[in-house]
């Protein structure tokens, strides 16, 4: 892994660097920038050639639709064919913020942004650097998370540099992302709101804003993924990750059953000394593991979310053979954490404290 100092294109997000980044965006170059959720890899959304560079840089094997970031509701409305009253209500309530709305696109949105779909995903980020960049560039900015395809989302400029340092014109360093998990993605149709990706806007808040008349459907488990965030092996670290489940249970989660299902017979047993532990609030017998990261010592889910991707990257960088992850409570942002853990997991695990080993159950 290369050291941060080797990248000359990481700049603290001050006025001059933001101005320079805005020029680069207008010139069709790539700029990585912080948002309140994760770092984005941005390009002028109205310039197909600039957008193509995003896919090249991330080495996405195929084109997936991107989220377009804007600085105002007016700009969002230009990207859509129209917006129903419900969309306006949600924009007023949640923007700027981590809610992405998918609606029918207008003609100005290039096909490469939407991967040929007739809808486009849009949000106003709630991060001063992202907003300043958008205003200075005077362009909508298409930006997926600034990681190589298949790796977890970066929440620091250093994590961006490790993945994409030599593939972007500039990385704006705005410190650590305050939320740490990607936005909630929803699509609006006549009678229902479909959740395409569980994320940083808690489900309960969304339901509360929508009132009881509206049906909210979680479609993240659909068989034919409409959103790559639905893919089962998304968000995975390089090392195999196993979700620790309570004794007697082979599958984690209740509202988040292990996506795509079953786990096989016990496949292998390994000493805990070869394992890295991703703990929620505390860890028993920390010394048994090769490395331990605690997401939030006080058991705060917002703090855990903010630390999630960075902790995973740290454990991925250790010499451990595999990662064991504790479950987190399935409420508030815990739902989004569990969603990502379940997708990242290669299977489930149980610890035997007598033999200080982990029994691993591989996913089918």
Q: Write down the least CB distance from residue 348 to ligand TXA, Å.
A: 25
Angle at 74 between CA 72 and CA 76, to 5 degrees: 75
Q: Residue 289 and residue 320: Cα distance in Å, rounded?
A: 9
The footprint of Mg ion (CB under 5 A) covers 145
Output 199 or 347, the one with its CB closest to ligand TXA.
199
What is the nearest approach in angstroms of ligand TXA to the Cβ of residue 121? Answer: 3
Nearest residue (CB) to ligand TXA, 101 versus 272: 101
Looking at the Cβ atoms of 13 and 349, the one nearer to ligand TXA is: 13
Binding partner selected for residue 102 from Mg ion, ligand TXA, none, CB under the kind-specific 5 to 8 Å limit: ligand TXA
Which CB atom, from 66 or from 279, has the smaller least distance to Mg ion?
A: 66
Cβ atoms of residues 206 and 186 within 8 Å: yes
Whose CB is nearest to Mg ion? 145
Q: What are the beta bridge partners of residue 103?
A: 120
> How is residue 218 written in tokens?
């979680």
| CB closer to Mg ion out of 145 and 184 | 145
196 versus 311: smaller Cβ distance to ligand TXA: 196
Query: Using an 8 Å Cβ cutoff, are 160 and 151 in contact?
Result: no
89 sits in which H/E element: helix 85-94
Structure token digits, residue 155 = 């929440």
First-to-last C-alpha distance (Å) of the chain = 32
Distance CA 52, CA 252 (A): 38
What is the residue whose two structure tokens read 């305050």? 178
Q: Which positions lie near ligand TXA, rule CB under 6 A? A: 35, 37-38, 40, 64-67, 98, 100, 102, 114, 117, 119-121, 125, 143-145, 182-183, 185, 196-197, 226-229
Q: Say which entry of ligand TXA, Mg ion, none residue 44 contacts (CB below 5 to 8 A, set by partner kind).
A: none
In whole angstroms, the minimum distance from the beta carbon of 251 to ligand TXA comes to 24
Report in angstroms how near the CB of residue 20 gets to Mg ion at its nearest: 26
Closest to 48 in 3D by CA, of 98, 137, 115, 123: 115
Provide the minimum distance between the beta carbon of 39 and ligand TXA in the complex, in angstroms, as a whole number.
Answer: 7
CA 209/CA 283 separation, integer angstroms: 37
Contacted entry of ligand TXA, Mg ion, none for residue 25, CB cut-off 5 to 8 Å set by kind: none
């Amino acid at each position: 892994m290369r050291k941060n100092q080797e990248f000359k294109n990481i700049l603290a997000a001050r006025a001059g660097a933001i101005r320079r980044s805005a020029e680069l965006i207008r010139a069709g170059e790539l700029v990585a920038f912080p948002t309140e959720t994760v770092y984005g890899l941005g390009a002028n959304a109205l310039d197909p050639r600039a957008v193509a560079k995003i896919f090249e840089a991330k080495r996405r094997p195929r084109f997936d639709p991107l989220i377009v970031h804007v600085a105002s509701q007016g700009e969002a409305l230009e990207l859509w064919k129209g917006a129903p009253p419900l969309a306006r209500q949600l924009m007023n309530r949640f923007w700027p913020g981590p809610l992405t709305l998918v609606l029918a696109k207008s003609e100005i949105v290039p096909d490469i942004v939407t991967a040929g779909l007739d809808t486009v995903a849009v949000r106003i980020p709630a991060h001063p650097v992202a907003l300043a960049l958008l205003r200075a560039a005077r362009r909508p900015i298409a930006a997926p998370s600034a990681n190589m395809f298949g790796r977890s989302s970066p929440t620091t400029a250093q994590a961006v540099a490790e993945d994409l340092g030599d593939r972007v014109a500039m990385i704006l360093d705005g410190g650590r992302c305050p939320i740490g998990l990607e936005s909630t993605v929803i699509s609006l149709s006549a009678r229902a709101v479909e959740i395409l990706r569980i994320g940083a806007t808690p489900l309960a808040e969304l339901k509360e804003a929508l009132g009881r008349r509206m049906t909210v459907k979680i479609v993240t488990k659909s068989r034919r993924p409409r959103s790559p965030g639905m893919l089962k092996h998304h968000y995975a670290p390089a090392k195999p990750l196993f979700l620790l489940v309570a004794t007697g249970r082979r599958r984690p989660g209740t509202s988040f059953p292990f996506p795509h299902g079953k786990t096989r017979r016990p496949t292998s047993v390994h000493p805990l000394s070869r394992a890295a532990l991703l703990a929620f609030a505390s860890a028993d017998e920390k010394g048994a593991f090769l490395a331990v990261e605690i997401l939030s010592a006080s058991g705060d889910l917002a703090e855990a979310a903010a630390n999630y991707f960075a902790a995973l990257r740290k454990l991925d960088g250790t010499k451990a053979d595999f990662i064991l992850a504790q479950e987190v409570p399935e409420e508030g942002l815990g739902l989004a954490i569990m969603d990502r853990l379940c997708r990242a997991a290669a299977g489930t695990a149980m610890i035997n404290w007598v033999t200080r080993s982990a029994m691993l159950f591989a996913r089918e």
